[in-house]
């Protein structure tokens, strides 16, 4: 659901690309390897083209990593078939393309065009699970009981054929009217059960609206967008697969998992203390995830509470192991062991974790090229995660500053999402302030003044500098 949309004038994102050191194209040798692989697509021996998979992605996406098919199992429960683009079948270990993907780490998304992990001949062509064409995939088959608990997992390389490319908005409209295509007709049912299981084990999901910058003719749109339910249910299928992958690698004592410490008790206590002043009900025995799931993030006090809850989600990392599993193998947000395996077109780590899972599942030794790469992946992925975050943040900040550049001195309605912690005697004193979310245009920015957390206030724009990508308000 689009909450708010505002048109911005023409914006040049080239300076941001230069600042982040993003490559403009692929080296000729890497491009040649990709083109050659695209001309000779792999054809796995196992054929699952009879399974009517479909993809569900943001509208306009062409780098399609995942396709799914959901069905009921005889006697009760569900069968989840999840086909993941088989990128390793297209990329030669140690080759020029492999080397270039290590330099990039992941696809970086910018409003004026992506900086892809793989050349478009693969990422939006032969390796992408586009509809109505045969594609090589790694197919996960996960059998669930009636409560969506996992009872069996298999995976294999196979040939698949997607029947349709769906987008979130259209699929949600179909779900609302009971017209979801048959391959994903069970997604709301299975997704809701998976969400419930996650909340019971202590998972935490922060339903924060996303700020996006989209092309609009000669200009750009700044969009504040809340997730639709089907998007969350789709994410649950990916989480389910990632948890299955982590279990395989931990049992096999080699692999790469996504870890995060469980929320610190003192952080949970601070969040609990913030609940009452913000009018948030925290029932006895409820965990933070259950409290957050009951909130409407469109309400200012709920949004402020969810913003505070982000403090619980600190310390995410990639953790490689070969031998003894890590002492702390779980992801605190998932409340389970979890691995990234479902987006290999867009994330380098997924290719290697998937290959480890395939070998362990088949009882084969993990390939040396995978084993040798595992210790190097956490550092590479951490660096490219920082670049991706900086690109997203920088694009939004630039758009906000351009959008507001000629409105300095005007006042706006806003909600207070966060307030500065009081000085502790060791930090340098600074004027009181915090973060506000302006209603229109949909901007989040720093604001000076005494701010009541979770309340609505009037704010005055004092700075909007596109060159510095900064916006600053003060309480009016």
In this structure, are 216 and 303 located in the same domain?
Answer: no
Among 453, 473, 454, 475, CA closest to 464:
473
In this structure, are 284 and 417 located in the same domain?
Answer: no
pLDDT of residue 430: 78
122: left (phi over 0), alpha (psi -120 to 50) or beta: alpha
Report the distance separating Cα 414 and Cα 453, nearest Å. 11
How many Cα neighbours within 13 Å face the side chain of 230? 23
Domain boundary (309, 344, 366) is at 309
Burial class (CB in 10 A: 0-12, 13-18, 19+), 288: buried
pLDDT of residue 439: 86
SS3 400: helix
pLDDT of residue 142: 98
In this structure, are 183 and 285 located in the same domain?
Answer: no
Tokens of 470: 């900064």
DSSP state, residue 185: T
In this structure, are 330 and 431 located in the same domain?
Answer: no
In this structure, are 283 and 159 located in the same domain?
Answer: no
pLDDT of residue 297: 84
In this structure, are 61 and 179 located in the same domain?
Answer: yes
The sign of the CA dihedral 25, 27, 32, 37 is: negative
**Phi, psi (5° rounding) for residue 364?**
-100, 160
In this structure, are 148 and 236 located in the same domain?
Answer: yes
> Range of 422's domain?
407-475
pLDDT less than 70: residues of the chain: 1-9, 424-428
Average pLDDT, the chain: 93
In this structure, are 303 and 372 located in the same domain?
Answer: no
Among 319, 280, 311, CA closest to 296:
280
Tokens of 276: 């009452």
In this structure, are 58 and 185 located in the same domain?
Answer: yes
In this structure, are 54 and 138 located in the same domain?
Answer: yes
In this structure, are 279 and 141 located in the same domain?
Answer: no
Structural domains counted in the chain: 3
pLDDT of residue 2: 41
pLDDT of residue 224: 75
């Amino acid at each position: 659901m689009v909450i708010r949309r505002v048109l911005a004038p023409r914006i040049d994102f080239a300076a941001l690309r230069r600042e982040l050191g993003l490559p403009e194209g692929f080296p000729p040798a890497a491009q040649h390897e990709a083109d050659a692989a695209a001309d000779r697509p792999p054809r796995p021996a196992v054929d699952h083209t009879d399974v009517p998979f479909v993809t569900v992605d943001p509208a306009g996406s062409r780098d399609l990593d995942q396709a799914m098919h959901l069905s009921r199992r005889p006697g009760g429960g569900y069968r989840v078939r999840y086909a993941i683009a088989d990128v390793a079948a297209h990329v030669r270990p140690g080759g020029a393309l492999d080397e270039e993907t290590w330099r990039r780490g992941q696809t970086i998304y910018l409003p004026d065009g992506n900086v892809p992990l793989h050349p478009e001949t693969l990422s939006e062509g032969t390796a992408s699970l586009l509809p109505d064409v045969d594609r090589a995939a790694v197919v996960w088959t996960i059998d669930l009981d009636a409560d969506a608990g996992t009872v069996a997992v298999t995976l294999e390389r196979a040939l698949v054929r997607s029947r349709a490319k769906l987008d979130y908005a259209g699929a949600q409209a179909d779900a609302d009217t009971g017209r979801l295509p048959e391959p994903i007709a069970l997604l709301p049912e299975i997704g809701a059960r998976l969400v419930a299981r996650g909340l019971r084990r202590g998972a935490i999901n922060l339903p924060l609206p996303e700020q996006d910058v989209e092309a609009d003719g000669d200009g750009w749109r700044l969009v504040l967008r809340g997730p639709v339910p089907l998007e969350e249910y789709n994410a649950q299928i990916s989480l389910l697969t990632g948890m299955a992958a982590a279990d395989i690698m931990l049992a096999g004592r080699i692999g790469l998992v996504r870890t995060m410490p469980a929320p610190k008790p003192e952080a949970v206590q601070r969040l609990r203390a913030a609940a009452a002043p913000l009018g948030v009900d925290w029932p006895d025995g409820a965990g933070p995830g259950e409290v957050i799931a009951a909130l409407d993030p469109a309400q200012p006090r709920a949004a402020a509470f969810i913003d505070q809850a982000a403090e619980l989600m600190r310390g995410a990392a990639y953790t490689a192991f070969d031998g003894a599993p890590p002492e702390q193998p779980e992801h605190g947000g998932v409340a389970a062991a979890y691995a990234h395996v479902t987006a290999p077109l867009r994330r380098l780590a997924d290719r290697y974790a998937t290959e480890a899972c395939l070998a362990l599942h088949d009882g084969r030794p993990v390939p040396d090229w995978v084993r040798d790469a595992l210790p190097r992946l956490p550092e590479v992925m951490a660096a490219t995660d920082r670049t991706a975050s900086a690109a997203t943040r920088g694009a939004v900040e630039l758009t906000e500053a351009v959008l507001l550049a000629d409105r300095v001195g005007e006042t706006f309605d806003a909600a207070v999402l966060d307030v500065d912690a009081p000085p502790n005697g060791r930090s340098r004193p600074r004027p009181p302030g915090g973060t506000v979310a302006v209603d229109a245009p949909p901007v989040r920015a720093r604001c000076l003044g005494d701010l009541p957390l979770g309340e609505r206030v009037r704010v005055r724009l004092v700075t909007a500098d596109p060159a510095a990508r900064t916006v600053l308000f003060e309480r009016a």
